Copies of this chain bind each other. A is one copy, B any other.
Amino acid sequence: MIGLLHHHVMNTLATHIRALTFDIFGTVVDWRSSIIGEGQALQQRLGAAGGAPADWPALADAWRAGYFSTMAQVTRGELAPNNVDGLHRLILDRLLPRFGLDQLPEAEREHLNRAWHRLAPWPDSVAGLSRLRQRYLLSTLSNGNMALLVNMAKHAGLPWDCVLSAELFGRFKPDPEVYRGAARLLDLAPGQVMMVAAHPFDLVAAQRAGLKTAYIPRPAERGPGGGMEPVGDAVFDIVAPDLGALATQLGIA
């Protein structure tokens, strides 16, 4: 009985939504392993000139933490408006001395900063997106800037129909205008769009803006013992362990 009811609700939802918008860092790509791998490869490539091996997992975590805090500073007007490439570089330059990498040459810094354009997808991402794309319009909806998202899609083979970024709206998620703006650019009602994310704060904000929501927990995002953002009493339309399971729950073979 509950199974039948669930099936009916899911069918109605699946036919009502037209587009899926995806959070990227952590939801579609594994930023932490990618950044650690890029950092270690960089030091290996530089050899002795690269200095003693840095604690790349700690650097990756601090870099990511700095991303949230600098975005909040921009939003509060405490830091000049900047896109995510710019913020990443600002944070990186602050972190390098702390990790014994203050001698890293400019070209290497810039290459490392662009590692965020080369993040690797989770193992289920490309196949899951390809299935979802058979029925839905798929778009990014990330705080990452357009160039970052477009370069990443090309590098990782992510099959988007459209690349949308908070950059287009001059503010960052979870500002409601980002979610509403995406629906408006796609000429859809907010309720015809489903936000897909690994982070409850993003989904709760999307929900408040009128979007449907799919929660994809990614317990490995922050590494061993890194923990996850608590869901609290939030309720989402779909919870699925990965993007393939999301396609299955939406009835796509």
Contact = CB atoms under 8 A, between A and B. Distances in A.
A187 B153 contact: no
A142 interface: no
B154 A186 contact: no
Given A85-B187, A168-B168, A187-B85, A153 B145 contact: no
A162 B146 contact: yes
A147 B85 contact: no
Copy number of this protein in the oligomer? 2
Contacts of A146: 162, 185-187
Contacts of A154: 137, 161
Contacts of A163: 161-163
B137 A187 contact: no
Interface string A177-203: 000000001111000000000000000
Interface of A: 85, 137, 139, 145-147, 150-151, 153-154, 161-163, 167-168, 185-188
